[in-house]
């Protein structure tokens, strides 16, 4: 009986290893590429020039290639300011990618339609959360938020995302519980169905 229990436990460990998220990849992004966010409201296309923010561009590229944004909710919308997203649909995936990256020098300003990484407020704390600027937020440049891309298609989609819950979703709960929390408490949130990369010449 003891031998059977040990064998069963070993199988459980093996199954856990097989289902665990793969470690984040660290590929260098192309010089220019597009991110195609296919959302519940329509397509949002973001043009990225790696030279504007190479560290952030590399992280975004790797997140998309890994399928990180599938079923990812737009959980925070402040009218005229930002649309925030970037917590994965399941906690294990969020945890696997919770690796901080260095800040980029601010070259691209946080004007309307620009995509930037969120941070905790301290230097070098960017991980996976991003935001679309809904207005001219150039004041964010002074505190280190480097724009990494510009919406070239679908700005009207961003403007139409469900904003009724404003800032009510609890970010800590999203990270700890995942989409099951949001689907139960905030079922109207729009989300990313899939995200893909198009390399530009």
What homologous superfamily is domain 2-199 in, according to CATH?
A: Cyclophilin-like (2.40.100.10)
Cα separation, 107 vs 110, in Å, equals 10
Each residue's pLDDT tens digit, 5-32: 444 444 443 444 444 466 577 899 999 9
pLDDT at position 93, please?
96
Q: Where are the domains of the chain?
A: 2-199
**Do residues 190 and 41 make contact, with C-beta atoms less than 8 angstroms apart?**
yes
Q: Which of 142, 153, 152, 161 is nearest to 82 (CA)?
A: 161
Q: Which DSSP string do the residues of the chain spell out, in sequence order?
A: -HHHHHHHHHHHHHHHHHHSPPPPP-PPPPSEEEEEEEESS-EEEEEEEGGG-HHHHHHHHHHHHTTTTTTEEEEEEETTTEEEE---SSHHHHHHT---BPPPP--S---TTEEEE---SSTT-B-S-EEEESS--GGGGGGT--EEEEEEE-HHHHHHS--TTTT-S-HHHHHHHTHHHHHHH-TT--EEEEEEEEE--
Which residues of the chain are modeled with pLDDT < 50?
1-20
pTM exceeding 0.95: no
- 9 to 13, 21, 75, 199, 201: CA distances (angstroms): 6, 20, 38, 45, 52
Each residue's pLDDT tens digit, 108-129: 999 999 999 999 989 999 999 9
């Amino acid at each position: 009986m003891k031998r059977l229990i040990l064998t069963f436990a070993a199988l459980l460990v093996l199954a856990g290893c097989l289902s665990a998220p793969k470690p984040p990849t660290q590929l260098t992004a192309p010089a220019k590429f597009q991110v195609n966010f296919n959302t519940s409201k329509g397509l949002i296309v973001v043009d990225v020039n790696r030279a504007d923010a190479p560290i952030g561009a590399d992280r975004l590229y790797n997140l998309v290639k890994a399928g990180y944004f599938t079923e990812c909710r737009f959980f925070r919308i402040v009218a005229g300011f930002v649309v925030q997203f970037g917590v994965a649909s399941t906690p294990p995936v969020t945890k696997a990618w919770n690796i901080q990256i260095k800040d980029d020098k601010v070259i691209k300003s946080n004007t309307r339609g620009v995509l930037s990484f969120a941070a905790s407020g301290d230097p070098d704390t960017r991980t996976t959360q991003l935001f679309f600027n809904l207005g001219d937020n150039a004041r964010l440049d002074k505190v280190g938020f480097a724009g990494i891309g510009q919406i070239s298609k679908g700005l009207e989609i961003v403007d139409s995302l469900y904003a009724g819950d404003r800032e009510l979703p609890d970010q800590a709960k999203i990270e700890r519980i995942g989409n099951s929390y949001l689907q139960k408490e905030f079922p109207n949130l729009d989300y990313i169905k899939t995200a893909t990369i198009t390399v530009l010449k």
